[in-house]
Structure 1
Amino acid sequence: MSPETALPESGRPAADVLAELARLRAGDLPVRGGRVTAYVYDTGRDAVHDLAATAHRELLEVNCLDPTAFPSIVALERSIVAAVAVRLGGTPATPGVFTSGGTESIMLAVKAARDARPVEGRPQLVLPATAHPAFRKAAHYLGLEVVTIPVDPDTFRADPEATRAALTPRTVLVVCSAPSYPHGVLDPVEKFAALAAEAGILCHVDACVGGWVLPWMTDRAVPPFDLSVPGVTSLSCDLHKYGYAPKGASVVLFADEALRRHAYYASAEWPGYTVINSTVQSSRSAGPLAAAWATLRALGADGYRDLTAAAMAAADRLRAGIADIPGLRVLGDPSVPLVAVTSDDPGLDVFVLADQARTRGWFFQPQLTYQGLPANLHFTLTGVTDVEALLAALADSAKAAREAGPPDVPSDLIDALATLDLTAVTDADFAALLTSVGVDLNSEATPEMAFVNTVLNALPPTTRESLLIRFLSVLYSTPA
């Protein structure tokens, strides 16, 4: 990319800029219509999306850095936190923070736990194998040690007794999920909260994906999972998932004000303006805050009940339909509109199936094996998902995948990657390695990832992480 391409010498007309943006977006997955079963959440209500976009634009340039300069952000955040809290076991006075997403909400919960309960030595974070990697990221950034506990291999729920055995004087936070993202199942929150309280340890419920769908299941039995459960001290809930707000919207709730204060950060150690932050970020646009507020008000409780019922109906139909596709089965008993599908047929590779589905206009999210839990495809469903079309594509893709067979991955390649010294490999060398295994980052064709996913699936997690970091580095590097 030349300097002239990156920044034109003279400003260009708006129509030209938007046309170029449209060209760049041409290869993106669609964000509406339900054919992408991860990453995006669609209400199917254009007026709600348009309202959120307008509200976002109204506060686009408002800076959340200083709430005394822009009091609107205080009013909006109070309103959102109260609305979430009263549905999740709290009251309008329950303390919370509006954040940019589940990772930031989790980061603040971990920071609050670390600072609220100082321990001798390195503090520990105890979490299930199915807990979101955001907890590991928070531990990495904040200097905690992660202690991983197993989940039941059939139900995929975390094991309370294994958690109890893992507690030490250095444990500052116990984590459970409502639900876990990979399989959509609820951990036994009451048992986790009780054992944490008994040990005098804080307990966080990760309800990022389920927190704004579980409260609206009026016709289904939902086990207690929120702040109403004794011993739950914090909870995260993403509004840009089943709250259907644009990206950049999450809430972390705390059981008391003192714990929330430990999530804050202040610094007076410089001669500039006084720094006080409620989130990890400092300067940030209030656009997502306004968009989330507008979405909540536009949909209301009735809207969320309707959207949840439609999403759950889609999930029920998908689960029933998968039973009719030879070689495929659902993992666990999901409690929300998340479904994980695996194959017990050696001739039916789920990674090849995902590639076949991509050529048919569908995106099914691959999930790798971990601690004996099988590789699978993840489906996040909403009410706009055309399940009959999805099932047809799934069956057709499964047939094609069985005919194609699993990828032929040389064992010596796995061995070579497992022992490869990545510190001695430049980004250019790694790009050449990717090309040699069929991954062309400059190609505009639909990527075929079955070979790559099969390779990653055969490697230990630490090697996967190293390879993925190098992949990201190459992806964002400007070609010479």
Structure 2
Amino acid sequence: MIPVDQVLTELRKLREHDLPTHGGRTMAYVYDSGLDELDDLAARAHALASSTNGLDPTAFPSLLRMENEIVGTAARLLNGGVGQVTSGGTESCMLAVLAARGDAERPSIVLPVTAHAAFHKAAHYFGIRTIPVPVGADFRVDPADVRAAIDDDTVLVVASAPSYAHGVVDPVTDIAAIAGDRGIRCHVDACIGGWVLPYFGRLGVEFEPFDFTVPGVTSISVDLHKYAYCPKGTSVLLHASSELRRTQYFASAAWPGYTMLNSTMQSTRSGGPIAAAWAVLRHVGDEGYLELARRTLCAVRALRIGIDDLGLRVLGDPVSTLLAVTSPDVDPFALADKMRARGWYVQPQFAFQNSPTNLHLTVTAANHGNENLFLDALRESLADTAPVAVDTSILDGLDPETLTAEQFDALMGAVDMSAGMAAVNTLLEAAPAKLRERLLIEFLGRLYS
């Protein structure tokens, strides 16, 4: 056996190549409260319950109690609902789609083009048609367009609070009313905003109401591993009633073993994430989350002013914690590489319909007090950024349906990655959507080979 200390030393060595998860320098993927004690608390709570199994709540009543208390906290924050803890926002969104699907033969879901890709994943998995609806210059969907998109097979209408790409909240009140008039479910994807926007509201921020006080809202997803600052992966899916939730559940007695009974897409579920989330929620508490929201709001406002002063543009009018930054005079992909060289990760977003190429910033409480560090790095990076030239003609003739491993290798060999990811991102943006998806799937397969 390899000694414990040696294994942990090896693990720490491996982690040296990862993006930093603390200090607010990774402005996507991770959420940092800036509270030093949270990591230790979550890790210790996780360890106490990691060997338990949420498959059978009668076998481990501690998990049942903790999950009910977690869901109850989310329900109080969002003014209603019953639900479950899931593994993350994608599972929450997929379960909302599954619950709405029922036994429909040709179901469709209507969603703004800004809705999270998790809904397209759900449609792919569950055999559902998606009816995407374009958004306006403010990146919000027009309720009239939603009404026009609904067909006789529509089982669900989706709204975002906020959308990930631009941080804007859809007109949930009107969308939910339209869905309700047709007897259709309305899901609000508040995965990234559901825990922080209610506190922003208490701090004076105005935004479109999106919780269960809005007539017609039938389900809401809210992630705990985002602005509740719990460990990955924990989310909550709330339904307006137990009756609406019932179609989310699965039971099967069609085999000689125990009757399978699942509340989520998972069967075996480690109790570790549930215990860790429960402990963090208990420790931080309502006033603690209000203070974390205040710090985050201060950081958002300071960064937005600084970004404007540097001549960059924030897309839309975000009311939450997400900023999409662009400029016609700057290559965002090259800028992202320069920022990463200075120790900051900002997430490139490809152009899509009326949304230009931009950089996504997820702002957390840990960014408060470090705003000038980011803005100084951004100023230096802007002065140091030049457009990256890529011959996109190498994409000509590539068919996503027939792409071979040899073609992919030749494509990657023709791209100069010595200066960073800008050349790859430029090429990917130039590729049609289906080809881009195919190229990235091929790349993913190489990573895991």
Same fold (TM over 0.5): yes
* Counterparts of residues 309-388 of structure 1 (less than 5 Å): 309-326=294-311, 328-345=312-329, 348-385=330-367, 386-388=370-372
In the aligned structure 2, how far is the partner of 1:216 from the partner of 1:75? Answer: 26
Which residue is equivalent to 2:246?
261
One-letter amino acid of the counterpart of residue 99, structure 1: T
The number of aligned residues is 445
Q: Displacement, 1:461?
A: 1.5
Give structure 1 stretches of 5+ with no counterpart: 1-10, 440-444
Structure 1 residue aligned with 2:95: 108
Looking at structure 2, the residues matched to 21 and 430 of structure 1 have their Cα atoms a distance apart, in angstroms, of 32
Structure 2 distance, partners of 1:421, 1:160, is: 35
Gap change, CA 1:392 and 1:85, over 3 Å in 2: same
Note the 1:73-472 alignment, pairs <5 A: 73-90=63-80, 94-115=81-102, 118-119=103-104, 121-153=105-137, 155-217=138-200, 218-220=202-204, 221-326=206-311, 328-345=312-329, 348-385=330-367, 386-401=370-385, 404=386, 406-416=387-397, 419-420=398-399, 423-426=402-405, 430-431=408-409, 433-439=411-417, 448-472=420-444
CA-atom RMSD in angstroms: 1.4
Q: 1:371 to 1:424 in 2, by over 3 A?
A: closer
1:429 CA displacement: 5.7
* Structure 1 residue 463 displacement after superposition: 1.4
Q: Which amino acid aligns with 2:82?
A: P
Runs of 4+ in 1 over 4 A off after TM superposition: none
Q: 1:22, CA displacement in angstroms?
A: 1.3
Instruction: Report the Cα distance in structure 1 between the residues aligned to 2:76 and 2:153, rounded to whole angstroms.
Output: 33
Question: TM-score scaled to structure 1, two decimals?
Answer: 0.90
Post-superposition Cα deviations, 1:16-50, rounded to whole Å, max 9, x if no partner, equal 11111112111100000001101111111111221
The question of whether the paired residues in 1 share the 8 Å contact of 2:195 and 2:222 is answered with yes
Measured against aligned partners, the alpha-carbon deviations of 1:185-238 in whole angstroms (never above 9, x if no partner) come to: 000000100000011110000000000001112122233111110000000000
Distance, in Å, in 2 between the alignment partners of 1:255 and 1:424 is 46
**Pair 474,391 (structure 1): closer, same or farther in 2 beyond 3 Å:** same
Contact 2:42 2:280 in 1 (8 A): yes
Distance 1:459 1:423 in 2: 15
Q: Which amino acid aligns with 1:136?
A: H
Q: Is the 8 A contact 1:430 1:474 kept in 2?
A: no
Q: CA deviation at 1:430?
A: 2.9
- The whole-number CA distance in structure 2 between the counterparts of 1:177 and 1:222 is 12
CA distance in 1 between partners of 2:119 and 2:378 (Å): 33
Whole-angstrom CA distance in 2 between matches of 1:107 and 1:353: 34
| Alpha-carbon distance, 1:432 to partner | 5.1
SS at match of 1:212: coil
Task: Give per-residue Cα distances to partners, 1:262-311, cap 9 Å, x unaligned.
Answer: 10111111111210011111112110000111111110011100001111
CA–CA separation in structure 2 for the residues paired with 1:421 and 1:98: 37
Give the distance between the partners of 2:225 and 2:306, measured in 1 at CA: 28
Paired with 1:280 and 1:359, the residues of 2 have a C-alpha distance of: 40
Paired amino acid for 1:454: T
State the AA in 2 paired with 1:336: S
Residues 107-141 of structure 1: CA distance to partner in whole angstroms, max 9, x if unpaired?
110011011xx44x410011001000000001110
TM-score (norm. length: structure 2): 0.97
Q: Distance in 2 between matches of 1:423 and 1:275?
A: 40
CA shift digits 1:325-350 (9 cap, x unpaired): 13x111011111111101121xx100
Taking the aligned partners of 1:107 and 1:71, their CA distance within structure 2 comes to 27
TM-fit CA distance, 1:85: 0.3
Question: Contact between 2:86 and 2:264, CA under 8 Å: does it hold in 1?
Answer: yes
Out of 5, 20, 45, the position equivalent to 1:15 is 5
Give the aligned partner of residue 6 of structure 1. Answer: none
| Cα displacement (A) at 1:178 | 0.3
The one-letter amino acid paired with 1:323 is D
The 8 Å contact of residues 29 and 36 in structure 1, kept in 2 or not, is answered as: yes
